Structures are given as structure tokens and as C-alpha cells.
Structure 1
């Protein structure tokens, strides 16, 4: 497996090093890699002095592990990731499947180190946005809901910026519209700039309705929450295991466990479990091979009526009506 140790940042001094490690070179805004290695588009655009975008739309023809080791701590990375195929995030030797649970948006402080492993035949489509903490702080300070929290959010002694989230339908649409535009076109930079501002604005709109939890997070905490998420997914067809057992497995108090889980995912452990249970149940429903009662039993709902109620709460329509829309 090819190993690539690299860094990111708003400044562009990392670009040539990344290109060289991938066996390629830089031409203008693009990293050019031989097609026999992994063809596609890698495009870097400095939007302003505080904001840089990195568009990756690549088909991998060999296994690669990217080891992110930033040397700067003055920015936050926002990663919109629509990777298809076998890819995993690795932190302290603990793996987390990328994208499988619907968490296709990640926000990381530059101080957070980690690995991203992709397998041959995997297709990565990602827009990474690097934004200076000073600029992000100024932006957030203009949101009335967060005025009192701004200083704490950006105080590393009080808080770590880390979040796994779901991109909105609007963000998904913006990414796919950009994907239709050729990087060779004369207006590509304009489209990238518009997309990046659209993605940032859309996510900030999401944040307004969510609680921001101020808490320091160390790598071990992230690993324990990731491991807990994996355990919940592995037991998705069972009943919710309960906070006491989950917090014990994560080697945390119940209070700390619930607080960090919600900080990192935006939802409670129970809500995470139910959301993914419904997602898996919806996939089974779409096959057309099972009745609603059978799906309700398989995924340990209290009964068909309970499954129908929860499905409608999540997707806006009951299961039968959802099937007619496919």
C-alpha cells in the first residue's frame, strides 16, 4: 500500500509536496497524476487570503493511505465527502468506515491528526475547505445565537473543534452541479468559488439550529466515540443497548459520554441509533422483498405501527407511500 504523509493549509506550500508523493506534479491550479495511478481531477483554488478549496474527484487504481500531519494550527478543515467504495478513516489505529453511516461531512481542527485509507477501484469526490480560524471566528461572531460562545469555541484550552455531520440535500446538489463543470473551462474558478461559499453558508444555516457543546477532546475520546458508533451499527437490528453499557465500553461516565457523543455528531446516541436503524430499514424496504411487519420485526421495532410512525417522522411519508415514489 502506498503511504502519503502530507499536510493541508490555507497557504499553498503543501501542494507541491503532496503532488510529488503521489508521483505527479503541479500545473497551475491542478495536481497532475499519471492516469495509470489514479486518474481524475485534483484542483486547488485560493479563494481569498483566509480561504482555500481543494477539489478531489479521482478514481484510485492502487491502495493508498493518506497520513495527515499538519504543521500549522491556524485553520479549520471542512470536508464534504461523497466517496464511493472502500475507504476508512483511521485514528490511533481505530478504523471508521467513511460515508457508510451517512456522516459525509467532517469538521476538524488543524491540530487533529488522522489517516484516510482508500482501496483500489474506490472513487473519491470531496471538496475540502480550509478556513483561517480568525476568519471563521469573525463569521460566527455575527450569528446572534453564538455571540456569547465565540471566545470559548476558539479557545483551545476549553474546546476542540471536531464534528461528524450529514451534509444537507442542498450541499449534495451544489457538489454535484460543480462536478458537471469541466476544470478546463474558463469559468471553473467562478463555479468553485460560488460552490464553496454556498457550502459554507448552507452549513452555517444548519448550525444555527444545533447546540454547540464546549468541551476539550483528546484523540482517545474521538477513538472511543468512533468505537461506540461502530458498536451501535453492528447491533443495528437489536434494541438500543442503553447509555450505561455504552458509556462503560467507552470508559467514560454517562454524562461525559452523552456530552461528547452529541458534540461530535450533533445528536444523542439514541437519536444516532434510531436514525441509522431507519436508514438500514429503508434500504431493506426498497428491495421490495419484505413486508412492513417483517422489517419492523427484523429491526426490533415495537411493531409495524411503531415502525410506520418512526419512518414517517424521519422521511415525511409512511413506508407504503414512500415505495410508490420510487
Structure 2
């Protein structure tokens, strides 16, 4: 196993130092190309705006790799979004945490003053986006989020590690990057815009749910959450309809729709389809089906052409471009 130690800064100096350890080349002071002796792929480092930088990692290793981020002198927050094909792990002090979309914990946040270690296996695609943020810029926002009842000091500055699932809005943003070529002329601009949107979405996500709790009974909120969990657990079925969901939540349909809009900032149907398309992409890439038609049937769609339109609408790709046929 190859072992690498590095540190983070808001500028590219750390990225260039990492390249030297890996025996890699860096193009245009931003694109690190992995040497064939280790694997294939790249990492892209960009300074987005003052106080915010982004690191995009897209690699497949031929040798196991252990990367330790050392405690840094700069006061930074690291936001980690992981869409890797398999579950990876992060070690923070004596604790090991799973990270990755398939672990349902694709988002993590930690601080630069706490050392952590990533271990990566071979022959699988590792794909993640990390936002490196100046704590002076972002910690006042976290302090405001901590004041909301539901967060209960979730973002305490002393916390070593925080993880959660990646919400559907953020997944759509991340897939819009994953589906683009890093060699596109406009890719840098796109990545900068997505980075800002992800931070804004983070704030909205944790502020909106806590704000609602100030005005809604906890019993109503709990039943509402159970209903959205029901939707996520039954994505292979047809949309059950607002009346059915409202009945499960023990409230009127109008109250349920209003509450859904306040909490999720969308309609129950769009929320369901977004998550259904994320599942569709997972199934299509799973290598478990002989044809796309089988996936269409699995997800309770009658027409392949209608499914294809919805899939493209939410992923930006045709199903045929992602399909992995069962061997």
C-alpha cells in the first residue's frame, strides 16, 4: 500500500506538493494527472472565490492508497461529497467512518485542525468533490444553524466529524459535474458555480428543516418525515398520490402539500421522481440487467421512451450511455 501525507491550503501549493509525492504531473497549475504506475485519472484544484477552493477527485487505482491529511495551520472547513462506486472509509483519530453514496453517507464535514486518513482500494472508480472553506468565512453561518432547535449544536466547532446522506438537490448538482468532461473549455466555470450552489444548498437544507420546527408540531413533523421515508423506500412503485401520503401523515391533503413545500422546497411528485431517477441510474449502472427495458419494468414504467425522457431530464444523460449489461 502506497502512503501519502499532505495538508490543505486555499491555494495550489499543497496540490503541487501532493503531485511530487505521487510522481504525477500538474498541468496549468490545477490538473494533476495520476501516473500509470499508480492508476489512472486526475484531480482538479480550483480557487473558486476568496475563502473557497474546490478539489475534484476522479481516479481508479492499480495499487492501494492511504492518504493522510495532516493537521494544518490554516483554519479551514472541509466539505466532502462522495459519489464513488463503492464505500470508502475515513479515519478520524481512533474512529473509522464509512463514506460514499452506497453507504447512504455521502456527505461529510471536518476541520483542518484534525488529522484524518482515507484508504482507497484498487479497480474501482473513486469520485469526490471537496470544498475547502475559510472558517472565518463560514463558521458564523454554522453558528446561526446551531441556534435552530433541530440541529442542537450539530455543527459545534469542537466536533471532529459530521456526516449525512447527500440530499437529492445536491446529487443532481454533483451528477451534472460527473457527467461532463473535465477537458471541456467551460468545465472550470461550471465547477465553480456548482461549488457555490452546493454551499448554498447546505445552508438551505439545514436551515429550512429547523425553521419549520419552530412553527409546526413535533408530531406533525415526525409523521411528515415518515411519509418521505416511505417514498424513498418504495421508489420502484408508482407515485402513491398526495391523498395517500397525507393519510399516512394523518393530515389533510392541502396541509400536507403546504408542509412539503415548506420543508423540501418542491412538490411530493417531483421529490419522488428525483429520487427515483437516482435509483434508476444506480440500477442501470449495476450490471444486473440484460436490457434497459428490464430496468424500466423494475421501476414500474410502461414506456421506455417516457422513462428515457425523465432519465435525461434529471441526469443529463441517455440511459443507453450509462447502461452496463449483465454478463
Class of the TM-score when normalised by the shorter of the 2 chains:
0.5 to 0.7
SS of residue matched to 1:39:
strand
TM alignment of 1:18-33, pairs within 5 A: 18-28=18-28, 29-33=30-34
Per the alignment, do residues 134 and 14 of structure 1 end up closer, same or farther by CA in structure 2, a change over 3 Å counting? Answer: same
Q: Counterparts of 2:145 and 2:98 in 1: how far apart (Å)?
A: 36
CA contact (8 A) 2:90 2:98 kept: yes
Q: CA deviation at 1:96?
A: 3.0
Q: Counterparts of 2:184 and 2:78 in 1: how far apart (Å)?
A: 27
1:324 aligns with 2:300: yes
TM alignment of 1:194-209, pairs within 5 A: 194-209=193-208
Per the alignment, do residues 145 and 115 of structure 1 end up closer, same or farther by CA in structure 2, a change over 3 Å counting? Answer: closer
Deviations 1:60-105 (CA, angstroms, capped at 9, x unpaired) = 1110011111322411000011112352222345433322430100
CA RMSD of aligned residues (A): 3.9
CA contact (8 A) 1:79 1:106 kept: yes
Q: CA deviation at 1:145?
A: 8.3
1:102 aligns with 2:104: yes
Q: Counterparts of 1:47 and 1:108 in 2: how far apart (Å)?
A: 19
1:174 aligns with 2:173: yes
Q: CA deviation at 1:181?
A: 2.5
Q: Counterparts of 2:113 and 2:168 in 1: how far apart (Å)?
A: 29
Number of residue pairs aligned between Structure 1 and Structure 2: 233
In the alignment, structure 2 segments of 5+ residues that lack a partner are 212-221, 238-247, 250-267, 274-297, 302-306, 308-327
Deviations 1:153-195 (CA, angstroms, capped at 9, x unpaired) = 9985xx4363101111111111111123222222121101111
Match of 1:187 in 2: 186
Tell me the TM-score normalized by structure 2. Answer: 0.60
Per the alignment, do residues 78 and 54 of structure 1 end up closer, same or farther by CA in structure 2, a change over 3 Å counting? Answer: same
SS of residue matched to 2:48:
strand
SS of residue matched to 2:39:
coil
Q: CA deviation at 1:9?
A: 2.3
In the alignment, structure 1 segments of 5+ residues that lack a partner are 213-267, 287-308
Q: Counterparts of 2:15 and 2:142 in 1: how far apart (Å)?
A: 29
Match of 1:115 in 2: 117
Q: CA deviation at 1:54?
A: 0.4
Q: Counterparts of 1:95 and 1:140 in 2: how far apart (Å)?
A: 24
Q: Counterparts of 2:45 and 2:124 in 1: how far apart (Å)?
A: 21
CA contact (8 A) 1:105 1:166 kept: yes
CA contact (8 A) 1:85 1:121 kept: no
SS of residue matched to 1:209:
helix
Match of 1:52 in 2: 53
CA contact (8 A) 1:73 1:109 kept: no
TM alignment of 1:53-202, pairs within 5 A: 53-85=54-86, 87-99=88-100, 100-139=102-141, 146=147, 159-160=158-159, 162-202=161-201
